[in-house]
Structure 1
Amino acid sequence: MRSVSPTFGGTAVPLAVTWLVWGTTYLAIEFGLRGTEPLTLSSVRFLTAGLLLWGLAERRHEPRLTTLRRRRATLVGVLLFSMGMGGVALAEQYVDSGTTALFMATVPLWSVLLHTARGRPTRGAEWAGVWLGLAGVAVLSAGLGRGGLTGAAILLPAAMCWVLGSHLDDHSPGVRGPAAQMLAGGAVLAVAAVVRGEFASQPRPTWGAGLALAYLVVFGSLLAMAAYRHLTAHASPALATSYAFISPVIAVLSGALFLDEPLTPQVLAGTALIVLAVSTTLLTRSRPAAGPTTTVPGHPEAMRTRRRPTPSR
């Protein structure tokens, strides 16, 4: 998907895009939920973005996916978009947008645990980040009511599904693979919306909800991803993943500013702990390490594995 990145001037513009867009994605979901149901919103979002990418692949005459790649794309799409981002939209019925962003900001921490389970050496600073992040989640959960705990019970598995799907992704070049993932995830979300009875409810179309959906498709799922691809190619890993501990702060502040979400002591303490945990983990993992690959964890819509070139002998 790296080839679809637009031509940015330097790194300032794509850096601002990733910080601001991914920091306001949760706010846009909240506005979108005022016009439609959560699984329906997510289904339309990813089906639309997937069709746009598929059309781009057709225009570029990209090769068709093999049977194996189609199956993998389907599995990855269900994990990333159906269970991951679909869970985010579902959870925002119970918790506010800022808290949702903080729970999903723990994605790099679950990535550390997955790598550890697969035998990768884990540094002490990374373990410190994991424990700080878990403490932040505990503080946030302590300030939630019964409905909020339901949202937290949805968000933590959603974050873990995103990590698993990201590591199963084949990271092949071009846009047909990501398009197939979004189409598969959107299709499963549509079926889930029917089973949940969302299509039977009375639609509540509003201009705000329509604009939020357009923002999620164009900016959240397409433009910000292209900006992130540019950063991974032209900036250091620490700079490219800096949005992972800046975007949650933007999400909390934008929720408080535009939705009057309360900045309680629990929210402020949880924000501080999770931001510190994620920044510690990402900055530690950005240092050179042995091995042919390095994982760049971060925002749920950007976590990918980058392969380092093997030195020629």
Structure 2
Amino acid sequence: MTARGWFLFSLMGVVWGIPYLLIKVAVEDLSPAMVVFTRCALGALLLLPFAIRQGGFVRTVRAHWAPMLAFACIEIIGPWFTLTDAERHLSSSTAGLLIAGVPIVGVLAARFLGEGEMLGARRMTGLAVGLAGVGVLTVPHLTGGDARSLAEVLLTVVGYATAPLIAARRLKDVPTLQLIAPCLTLSALVYATPAALTWPDAMPSASVLSALAALGTICTAIAFIAFLELIKEIGPTRSTVITYVNPAVAVAAGAIFLDEPLTAGVLAAFALILAGSVLATAAGPRRDRRPVTWSTRQTSRADGRVESP
């Protein structure tokens, strides 16, 4: 993976590792619909002006409305609500740990849909090692939630695993801002009425307002731009491996801000997760290497070639 790929990968590991803590803080005073609406609305307000300024915004939406609608439903509208609702009963670290199943589901979905990325022995080993680390972290926490909440997180996992495939296969020519801005706008509109019906009786606390602001700006607007650039850089399947790093960040945030225990077992799991991420994102042998299907002409940053799939 290139230096740019590693930078985006590291950035996403952090910015999508802290939402679990922020969501947990927000749902203490607000409904899940209110949290999702505020998060989407803030992200849309920040990104929409830049997307329109690029030009051709309406034309792009008209040309790609069907896959954009599918992406919005599978990546945002469904998963963000189920995850937020689940955190009313699950701890933030447990939710983050369970989301680490995304790469496994992503691999299965990619093979089912005929995705062109090659999965060698090293990357498969990395997925297994990372999953082992997630298992070490997850088992002690599984008693903290009920069946419905666990099912909601499972639905979130499926959405997070399949949405990048839609982006890579059907939305490869859509500029990042012109994809994310309308998806967030649509999601905000969907949750506007449920949010209004569950509007809080009193002003939320400063910590809740801060959590909402961080969710909308850092974990939504900035994170989505970085994530789609990551998909372009390393492909949809390997990009989901950030969910092996996210749980580590979620557990660390829980230990720092919620006084959750940081045991020797947790530290060992950290090592497994990070090692699995390195292996799972490693490029295969040169004879197996294929350009990521994103654009008709893709520059190989490794040696300066221009490859055409």
TM-score range, shorter chain: 0.7 to 0.9
Taking the TM superposition and a 5 Å limit, the aligned residue runs for 1:262-281 are 262-263=261-262, 275-281=274-280
For 1:34 and 1:200, how far apart are their aligned partners in 2? 14
Indicate conservation of the 8 Å contact 1:32/1:213, yes or no. yes
Indicate conservation of the 8 Å contact 1:86/1:189, yes or no. no
For 1:81 and 1:150, how far apart are their aligned partners in 2? 19
Indicate conservation of the 8 Å contact 1:33/1:41, yes or no. yes
Among residues 32, 36, 45, which one is paired with 2:39 in the alignment? 45
Name the aligned partner's letter for residue 91 of structure 1.
A
- Aligned sequence identity (%): 25
Q: 1:29 to 1:308 in 2, by over 3 A?
A: farther
Indicate conservation of the 8 Å contact 1:116/1:122, yes or no. no
For 1:87 and 1:277, how far apart are their aligned partners in 2? 27
Indicate conservation of the 8 Å contact 2:16/2:219, yes or no. yes
For 1:144 and 1:18, how far apart are their aligned partners in 2? 25
Q: Tell me the TM-score normalized by structure 2.
A: 0.74
Q: Tell me the TM-score normalized by structure 1.
A: 0.73
Q: Number of aligned pairs?
A: 290
Residue 106 of structure 2 corresponds to residue 123 of structure 1: no
For 2:285 and 2:250, how far apart are their aligned partners in 1? 24
Among residues 93, 96, 120, which one is paired with 2:91 in the alignment? 96
Indicate conservation of the 8 Å contact 2:44/2:221, yes or no. no
Residue 29 of structure 2 corresponds to residue 35 of structure 1: yes
Q: 1:287 to 1:91 in 2, by over 3 A?
A: farther
Taking the TM superposition and a 5 Å limit, the aligned residue runs for 1:252-271 are 252-263=251-262
Among residues 141, 156, 159, which one is paired with 1:161 in the alignment? 159
For 1:272 and 1:150, how far apart are their aligned partners in 2? 31
Residue matched to 2:206? 207
Among residues 167, 181, 185, which one is paired with 1:179 in the alignment? 181
Structure 2: runs of 5 or more not aligned: 299-305
The 10-residue stretch of structure 1 (140-149 or 110-119) with the greater mean CA deviation from structure 2: 140-149
Indicate conservation of the 8 Å contact 2:127/2:276, yes or no. yes
SS of 1:61's partner is coil
Residue matched to 1:150? 148
For 2:146 and 2:270, how far apart are their aligned partners in 1? 16
Residue 80 of structure 2 corresponds to residue 85 of structure 1: yes
Structure 1: runs of 5 or more not aligned: 1-9, 295-304
Indicate conservation of the 8 Å contact 2:106/2:240, yes or no. no
CA shift digits 1:7-32 (9 cap, x unpaired): xxx89986764444333222222222
Indicate conservation of the 8 Å contact 2:234/2:292, yes or no. no
Indicate conservation of the 8 Å contact 1:84/1:158, yes or no. yes
For 2:164 and 2:5, how far apart are their aligned partners in 1? 24
Name the aligned partner's letter for residue 180 of structure 1.
P
Indicate conservation of the 8 Å contact 2:13/2:245, yes or no. yes
For 1:236 and 1:73, how far apart are their aligned partners in 2? 18
